[in-house]
Amino acid sequence: MIKPHGSDALNPLYVYDDAARNALITEAASLPSITVNSATAANAVMLGGGYFNPLTGFMNLADSMAVSENLHTTPGLFFPVPVVNRVEDASGMAVGSRIALLDPNVEGNPAIAVMHVEGIEKASQEQIDAMTQQVYGTMDSNHPGVATFQAAGNIFLSGPIQVLSFSYFQADFPETFRTAVEIREEIAANGWEKVVAFQTRNPMHRAHEELCRIAMDAVNADGCVIHMLLGKLKAGDIPADVRDASIRKMAELYFPPNSTLITGYGFDMLYAGPREAVLHALFRQNMGTTHLIVGRDHAGVGDYYGAFDAQTIFDEKVPEGSMEIEIFKADHTAYSKKLDKVVMMRDAPDHAKEDFVLLSGTKVREMLGQGVALPEEFARPEVAKILMDYYQALDAS
């Protein structure tokens, strides 16, 4: 199986030993504590599950700046985005101390991790702005990722952590949430060697479904891991439980048995386009897949990124040998009226735009909200029904 990023074996930071974890939970109750923001809690979940391998905790300011500018830490570890714990107030905390990090997303704010504080550093606004521009490629406050990054505190708490829970993800998505450790185990149990990963924060329409098949056929894969983001999204995005139900229905009805794994991960979307595409590749290498599908405007939002910037970054900014995972570069995929099947547009050079079944996201939401069936060439009827029920309930509320 493909090796994790930066080490021979995966190093999840979740404390799996029950006695050790319970002792830490007891200790956390007596420690100085801080309720972290949602992004930091999601980082803790991802560190706990092994997705951020080989990191042992939160980056300091120097590493955060180096990663933002050059995609590597000061010691030289390749990494595409800063993994940080930023707070507004560090009163009562000292370097060398242990603190409890409290979960903002679970009632009662239980400790999600215990942290050994190695650094407490205040970043200037100029440094925050530089990281924002480098990671997101813009300073526009209308960009949801920029808004979130700029609003976080400017004090960086760095150091190793021990993770005590996976926040709300296991309870809310028991059939879907998986750590990188668990996905590796499932891939091994299936006997899969070549494995394609498909990242999604949206329901899957016919084009997405077929794209998974195209990629699997192209690389002769044994299976496909459909890996959906389960954390916080921007306003207007479809909730994770609705996406989960629609994707499961699609896989159940339209993929051969034992050819897919339907899984999810506990991370808040960055909407960082090219940088987030590289992060997605790192996640998928750590969970054991050999290929990641990177499509048109992967991890993008609005018009902030070029259609294929998330592909070209792997050629232009990712040093050769930095990661072992391979990228399957996909074009926009749609149903061809001429060929009576879903194709990648680059494979149909004789087609005009009107030869494809194309619907904008706005049009899809409008139709579903009005109870109008989507064309079967665009969406499977069983999937469309789940989405229609959601949008009609939304409009009725």
| Rounded-to-integer distance, Cα 83 and Cα 349, Å | 42
Cα 199 from chain centre: 7
Helix (H, G, I), strand (E, B) or coil at 32: coil
As given in the structure block, the two tokens for residue 259 are 């050819």
> Of residues 70, 109, 202, 213, which has the active-site annotation?
202
- The structure tokens 């006695």 sit at 19
SS (H, E, C) 144-194: HHHHHHHHCCCEEEEEEEEECCCCCHHHHCCCCECCHHHHHHHHHHHCCCC
178 is catalytic: no
Element (H, E) at 199: strand 195-200
| Rounded-to-integer distance, Cα 132 and Cα 118, Å | 24
As given in the structure block, the two tokens for residue 314 are 């792997």
248 is catalytic: no
As given in the structure block, the two tokens for residue 379 are 């969406």
> Of residues 86, 178, 201, 243, which has the active-site annotation?
201
SS (H, E, C) 77-121: CECCCCCCCEECCCCCCCCCCEEEEECCCCCCCCEEEEEECCEEE
As given in the structure block, the two tokens for residue 25 are 């939970």
Sequence-separated (6 or more) residues with CB below 8 Å from residue 73: 59, 63, 66, 67, 79
Please answer whether residues 332 and 353 qualify as being in contact, where contact means their C-beta atoms are separated by less than 8 angstroms: no
Provide the sign of the torsion angle of the four alpha carbons 241, 237, 336, 382, taken in this order.
positive
Task: State the catalytic residues.
Answer: 201-202
